[in-house]
Amino acid sequence: MQKIINTTDVNNKIEFNIIGHVNSPYKEKFAIPRQPGLVTSVKATITLTGDANNAELVRELKQFSHIWVLFVFHGTQQQGWKPLVRPPRLGGNKKIGVLATRSTFRPNPIGMSVVKLDAIDIKAKQVILHISAIDLLDKTPIVDIKPYVPYSDSIPHAHAGFAQIQPSTNLQVTFNDLAQMALTKYSNNFPDLALFIEQVLAQDPRPAYKQGKHDDKIYGMNLYDLNIQWQMQGLTTIEVIDITPVISK
């Protein structure tokens, strides 16, 4: 099983093993929703690996509708961590302690997400978990999976500081004629592509300082093996202007 942290007792460190990897349509950090559950149409899988690829590990897990996924922020791990960060929910204008945020730039690059567990497949001795409503980058290393237990994991009256309620952008997403043609072209392989794009863009993936301001830049984001190009039309409408295959380097 692949090691992700080399440790010794002298250095007071702990060793973890990678137990699986995510296969996600999010191929880059840009446009991934900032929390799980915001984009419900996105589907992904977790493939268990090494000694963890054992059907006994997931026996009766299917009884739970949701699971906690603990993972490594491998997309930003090499950049190190910062004691102070600028949360998007505060407009990116105020620095607060990294441990008071969900930032990826943490002393240990560990994240956790609650995701919907749709199914568990065990074929040819390979264990695959089908999940949805995720915020996970493709190839994310998984270090643990736990069942979500509603009576203990949900605290209705908890106070969440600057993130008490889900952000609302009120953005409308439209598709021009070229993008509509592309949706038709790719409909067999990606039948829910339009809804997926709409839900991702409705979260306004632009930097926080650009939100609510005039912006004529053309943006691109990679979902599956497609590049989605889009542009703001005024302050409240996003237009998808083209959908093309990603060109491999």
- For 75-125, what is each residue's pLDDT tens digit? 877 788 889 988 877 777 789 999 998 888 899 999 999 999 999 999 999
Write out the residue range of the structural domain in which residue 39 sits. Answer: 20-153
- Phi/psi of residue 90, nearest 5 degrees: -100, 20
Question: What is the pLDDT confidence band of residue 11, given thresholds at 50, 70 and 90?
Answer: low
Output the pTM of the full model.
Answer: 0.87
Give per-residue pLDDT as tens, 47-56: 999 999 999 9
- Over residues 30-79, the pLDDT tens digits come to 999 888 999 999 999 999 999 999 999 999 999 999 999 999 998 877 78
Residue carrying structure tokens 């690996």: 49
How many domains, the chain? 2
Whole-number Å distance between alpha carbons of 98 and 101: 5
* Residue 160 pLDDT: 79
Tell whether the torsion through CA atoms of 40, 33, 215 and 224 is positive or negative. Answer: negative
Based on the domain organization, do 67 and 121 belong to the same domain? Answer: yes
Same domain? For 149 and 187 the reply is: no
Mean confidence (pLDDT) of the chain: 90
Same domain, 126 and 191: no
Tell me whether residue 6 is in a domain: no
Residue 15 lies in a domain: no
Let me know whether 82 and 119 are in one domain. Answer: yes
**41 & 131 share domain:** yes
DSSP structure class, residue 144: E
Judged by average pLDDT, the poorest of 8-12, 132-136, 228-232 is 8-12
Domain identity same for 131 and 48:
yes
Domain boundary among 95, 122, 153: 153
Alpha carbons 191 and 150: distance in angstroms, whole number: 32
Q: Is the pLDDT of residue 9 over 70?
A: no
CATH at 212: 3.30.2310.20
On whether the CB atoms of residues 212 and 235 are closer than 8 A, the answer is yes
